[in-house]
Chain A
Amino acid sequence: MTNNQQVDADFLALPLDAVTESAISTATALGATHVDVRIERVRTGILSIRNLAPETQSDDSISGVGVRVIVNGCWGFASSPEISVDVAAKLAKTAVAMAKTSHPLSTEEISLAPEPIYPRKQWVSAYEIDPFSVSGDERIARLTGLNEKLLKADGVDFAEAFTMFVKEQKHYADSYGTSTTQQRVRMQTAIEAVNVSDEGFVSMRTLAQPAGFGWEWMNNSHWNWDAEIDELPTLLAEKVAAPSVEAGRYDLLIHPSNLWLTIHESIGHATELDRALGYEANYAGTSFATVDKLNNLKYGSNLMNVTGDRVTPHGLSTVGWDDEGVEAQRWDIIKDGTLVGYQLDRRIAARGGRDRSNGCAFADSPSHVPIQRMPNVSLQPNPSGPDLAGLIESVEDGIMIKGDNSWSIDMQRYNFQFTGQQFHRIKNGKIVGQVKDVAYQATTTDFWGSMNRVGNESTWVLGGAFNCGKAQPGQIAAVSHGCPAAVFDKVNVLNTRAEAGK
């Protein structure tokens, strides 16, 4: 990965070593057998433009120190927004006290899978232009310009543009000697056009996905915004005029701009080992893919190959080292349709009898503990599969779905329902126009079992989200899912108007 960026000097100028050393030595002296310290600064910018004027604008930096310890086999954690040597020592004492308080309520002795030591490492994600270095005027002008184009078109009554950009800086040090300093940048932009008529309102959003880019994401070189905006009014007008879908079973050609979310919900969360073991049972839920099914659960068709990784260029979950000092890796989760791997952090790896974590620990802020979070979970293209035109030709009676919208799945990750932005009816291998009010509903293994055609590399897109939720207290994480377009046979399609009516 080529990368000219460095970690910002003002972050490196913080007393990183003195603060982490203070916490580690204090906690160790008080009996901690493990100490990890994170000093973090996360800056988030939000800009939304309603028609031609900014509606929401924020520039929010969180920063602080989090100290996590193990004492007598129990976790303890404390955090503060103040980054100083004295505060770090106090946090170490509080975390040790918390671990001791927890001891009578704990029957599981925490142990961590081992990992080599990485002293003094730095890593920066692949981006060109720090979005915070771009002036507010320039950001507003770019988005307002795109909205303006939309509003000039017939049938567009309202336009809304939203962008969110994040710079995450993290210094990690632990009691074994690993010390990493990392900086990641990511961008998410979406633009929506709305038509209002006597029949109600219909909207359509851009298909562009969030990714680990800087402001260069907006300059048409990685995603052609102007081309997409030029097409959007026609697509919206088609959707406004489109008939409501007839509920029933259809072959679905699912575009990566929609399929990434189905992968996220039905594969990503289902293959988190902490969920499979029950750690999330009160909140996010468990998983049908329990450990007894490893290497024998038929998850989907033989064309289904899914990997987990923290290395994909521009991936939202891509790092150099995770929040437990584990080096970024790539591994198989589903091979030829069979479940073969899980997502792990060091504690869950040890609990599951594994030699090493695959590096999925992440905390969204200095005030939260690292937990197992999702790596980039991606469906591999079929090297000998068709391109998008070939996939369309292969469908006799179906619908091509583009863009994500509504999503919901049960607590064991069986039953899901998704909608989308565009629903193109395919008859005898040809697109014959849009339909609307489409939702597809299926059971995870039935759905992936029905995946009969998988597109080649030319159909592959890196999709993803900024807002994946897990744990209590709640944490969010950004994650990417690369996937090709694919065809799923005879999936249950609902009409959302009929579902609402009574």
Chain B
Amino acid sequence: MSPQELIEKIVAVADYEDCVVIVESKTQANLRWASSTLTTNGVIATQKITVIAFVAVDGGIAAGSVTRAQVDASEIVEIAQAAGVAARAAGKAEDAAVLARDLAVGDWSAPHNPTGPEVFGGIAPELGEIFKKSQADKIELFGYAEHTHDTTWVGSKGGLRLRFDQPDGRVEMTGKSHARSRSTWEGRATRDFKNLSIAEIDSEIRTRLEWQGRKLDLAAGRYDTVAPAGSVADLYAYLGWFSGAKDAFEGRSVFSQRGQAGKTRVGETFSNLPITIYSDPRYPGLECSEYVVATSSGPMTSVFDNGQSAPKNETFKDGKLNSLVQTRATSALTGLPYTPFGRNIIVEAAGATGDLQSMIAQVKNGLLLTTLWYIRTVDPTTMLLTGLTRDGVYQIRDGEVIGAVNNFRWNESPVELLGRIRAIGATSITQPREWAGDVERAAAPALIFEDFNMSTVSPGS
């Protein structure tokens, strides 16, 4: 049974107020390599069918959902009933809001367009060549290539017929040399594996491995630090995850006004630079769905919001906190506009120009990072994060890289860091490292953080 047919049949038998069915079909091809030889690969197809029941109960509407990978004809009534049972057990929903109705978006009837290993046809010969070349030059290459096609259908008893297609992909490459004492990383986001140069990645890796020819020991401390775009995206992904309006309203967030119950920090200036951090489903190259799709409710999502529009939303605008992540229910609670979670992240500063090299040129005495790793929240009251530097930290003197230094454990809050950005470059599409796979669509600039807190030296490399 096709996803569309399945949705029609389920909503037809749902005997409660409304029923939203979400079918997510995904295909993926992946290649993984280590020490310059392929290690694993896969061609994957998965499917998730979520049935959400909206049932009238005492005093309001209850919602409940059930998700399965497969539903055959004999199970249609059963899954519709199971969602209804879950809703009644949950009782009146706190996040209830009027459901969207009668909206059609996208090519509803077209089947899922699968991806497969042929997507790697362009890069496979190039990969083979650089594997051979690396072995000859005593460089080891480790990495991963993944391409995904996601199709989502959202249908409801109330007439929602939405369909979205999302391609995503990336290549990551770690290069190691000199008995693994030198190590660097490159990542590229790509939606189609076209215009992707493995040779260019290889050349970047070779340059960085050469930079590590001179090793310097450096003590922990605070340093002016150049962060490349990918690590800026890794750090600021946390803003989205920790900016729920309800938590802020309840005094349980870095964005709560201390001592003022029910007040958030929306409107407060965090940076004197015109930094804007936002999501925009129409950002060129990072396009994504303009509508909310939610298979379950949570602090920042609501199943009642399925089919609501999710346009461009600025969390920070010109250095000022402009919005928090809302459901319609939390919007009513907080009295702030409805600004749902965005599906991409863009960090930019109005009028900023310059690339990574131009950031390096502006540092008299400081550090250049490659990637950040194992980033975790230490203290949500300040959004203090900890993590490591990984695959290359370089010392900068008078605007030039003079050699590689040891890795560090750092402790910093991306919120407080907004006030310590010394310079910011032009924004471009980037590939985060730690949150690759979770943060699929990101654009960010390279920038300079003042006095970045390198807490201790890490002997790891």
A residues near B451, Cβ cutoff 8 Å: 502
Verify A201–B381 contact, CB threshold 8 A: yes
B36 CB–A CB distance under 8 Å: yes
- Residues A282 and B34 in contact in the complex (CB < 8 Å), given A63-B70, A415-B458, A473-B146: yes
- Residues A415 and B409 in contact in the complex (CB < 8 Å), given A54-B91, A55-B297, A57-B90: yes
Query: Of all chain B residues, which has the CB nearest A140?
Result: B89
B residues near A439, Cβ cutoff 8 Å: 378, 386
Verify A136–B250 contact, CB threshold 8 A: no
A residues near B46, Cβ cutoff 8 Å: 62, 64, 79, 81, 367
Determine the distance from Cα of A368 to Cα of B93 in the docked complex, in whole angstroms. 36
Give 1 or 0 for each of B434-461: 1 = CB within 8 Å of chain A CB: 0001000000000000010101111111
Determine the distance from Cα of A472 to Cα of B140 in the docked complex, in whole angstroms. 18
Contact of A415 among B69, B296, B456 (CB under 8 A): B456
Q: Which of A105-113, A174-182, A221-229, A326-334 contacts B (4 or more CB under 8 A)?
A: A105-113
Contact of A75 among B41, B407, B409 (CB under 8 A): B41
Verify B127–A105 contact, CB threshold 8 A: yes
- Residues A417 and B252 in contact in the complex (CB < 8 Å), given A62-B69, A77-B41, A82-B70: no
Determine the distance from Cα of A198 to Cα of B259 in the docked complex, in whole angstroms. 4
B316 CB–A CB distance under 8 Å: no
Q: Which of B171-179, B306-314, B333-341, B393-401 contacts A (4 or more CB under 8 A)?
A: B171-179
A154 CB–B CB distance under 8 Å: no
Q: List 18 other contacts, CB 8 Å, given A64-B69, A473-B146.
A: A53-B94, A57-B90, A59-B65, A75-B40, A95-B43, A101-B117, A107-B135, A198-B259, A278-B34, A278-B142, A280-B34, A283-B144, A406-B378, A411-B461, A415-B407, A415-B459, A472-B146, A494-B455
Q: Which of B101-109, B232-240, B368-376 contacts A (4 or more CB under 8 A)?
A: B368-376
A→B interface (CB under 8 Å): 46, 48, 50, 53-64, 74-83, 94-95, 97-98, 101-102, 104-108, 135-137, 139-140, 157-158, 194, 196, 198-201, 203, 278-283, 285-286, 288, 367-369, 371, 406-415, 417, 419, 437, 439, 441, 443, 471-474, 492, 494, 496-497, 499-500, 502
Determine the distance from Cα of A107 to Cα of B141 in the docked complex, in whole angstroms. 13
Interface SS of B by simple majority = strand
Query: Of all chain B residues, which has the CB nearest A367?
Result: B44
Query: Of all chain B residues, which has the CB nearest A44?
Result: B67
B residues near A95, Cβ cutoff 8 Å: 43
For the complex formed, measure the closest distance between the CB of B6 and the CB atoms of chain A, giving whole angstroms.
13
Contact of B124 among A54, A105, A472 (CB under 8 A): A105
Query: Of all chain B residues, which has the CB nearest A107?
Result: B37
Give 1 or 0 for each of B404-432: 1 = CB within 8 Å of chain A CB: 00010101110010001000000000000
Interface SS of A by simple majority = mixed
Q: How large is the interface on B (under 10, 10 to 19, 20 to 34, 35 or more residues)?
A: 35 or more
B39 CB–A CB distance under 8 Å: yes
For the complex formed, measure the closest distance between the CB of B124 and the CB atoms of chain A, giving whole angstroms.
7
Determine the distance from Cα of A194 to Cα of B143 in the docked complex, in whole angstroms. 42
Contact of B90 among A54, A97, A412, A496 (CB under 8 A): A54
Verify A500–B174 contact, CB threshold 8 A: no
Verify B460–A81 contact, CB threshold 8 A: no
Determine the distance from Cα of A282 to Cα of B258 in the docked complex, in whole angstroms. 42
A residues near B460, Cβ cutoff 8 Å: 285, 288, 410-415
Contact of B296 among A56, A98, A196, A473 (CB under 8 A): A56
For the complex formed, measure the closest distance between the CB of B383 and the CB atoms of chain A, giving whole angstroms.
8
